[in-house]
Structure 1
Amino acid sequence: MQTEKVPHALLSGLIGAVALNVLHETVRQFVPQAPRADLLGERSIVKGFKAAGAEPPTGTALYASAMAGDVLSNAIYYSTVGLGDKQPVLTGAAIGALAGIGAVTLPGPMGLGEGPTERTPATVAMTIGWYLFGGLVAGAVYERFRRPTTA
């Protein structure tokens, strides 16, 4: 990836990550089977703090930390749409689908529980679909950056 494209890739990744989190946080307010990425993030933070022998944040501070970590990590991940410079939307779809599959299959083995993303078939489908959505948004934004602007 050329150096001048890095800011576009990072911004595309950030927009994809924000789109994903807005979708997660909005739908979970209304749909009982919705994935709970917020709980996975909170559990990760608590686990990390305890492993370091430190007291983890609680309440609103824990939630805010989880959201910030989720957006940051997903933004970095989704910024890889810039690596597939020929077809960023297709690259976004691929990395989004892979992230969704990982969000379903990895929490259990990582000791974070399976319920937040795997409790029902609908939860699994939404989890994969929403990460796919985030990747598609990142890819579409990056594609838009690639098009020359007309003055």
Structure 2
Amino acid sequence: MDNLTTSQVTRSLGSGLGGAIALTILHETVRQFVPTAPRADILGMRGIAKGFRKVGEQPPGEDDLYSLAMVGDVASNALYYSLIGFGRKVPVLTGAALGALAGVGAVTLPGPMGLGEKPTTRTSATVAMTVGWYLFGGLVAGVILKQWQKGQE
């Protein structure tokens, strides 16, 4: 792989952040109105609380856990989606692939990680939304990066 320039890394991180924000807005908006919507917020809160307990600390209250989960979700998804910038010249396809993989992971990994399965697998609609929404985040990141790349030609 060629050496990445600072500009390429910045665009990769920025597009990843754009995809992560789009994903989080979608998650948080739809869950307010659709009872079967995935609950990534609950998984995040459980993961953070589990971490606190693992080191012998009392987890913060629900509002603070929620805030930490949102920041953690956006940050981790932004870094993940920024991997799109390390692909070759097909950022939208790379974004779709990474997004679909993240969605499958969000459905299959919480149970084995001890975070519970229901937030992303309650119904077949929940599973489909989970995979689809992460795919959406990857596509958004890919489109953003593609547009920035066009501007550099």
Question: Paired residue for 2:4?
Answer: 2
1:50 aligns to 2:38 (yes or no): no
Deviation at 1:59, TM superposition (A): 2.0
1:141 aligns to 2:141 (yes or no): no
Runs of 4+ in 1 over 6 A off after TM superposition: none
Question: Paired residue for 1:31?
Answer: 34
CA RMSD of the aligned region, Å?
1.2
Unaligned regions of 5+ residues in structure 2, if any? none
Distance in 2 (alpha carbons) for counterparts of 1:149 and 1:102: 34
Deviation at 1:26, TM superposition (A): 0.1
Distance in 1 (alpha carbons) for counterparts of 2:69 and 2:47: 8
Deviation at 1:85, TM superposition (A): 3.0
1:127 aligns to 2:139 (yes or no): no
1:72 aligns to 2:64 (yes or no): no
TM-score, length-scaled by structure 1 = 0.96
Deviation at 1:111, TM superposition (A): 0.4
Paired residues in the alignment total 150
| 1:32-57 superposed Cα distances (whole Å, 9 cap, x missing partner) | 00000000000000000100111111
Question: Paired residue for 1:98?
Answer: 101
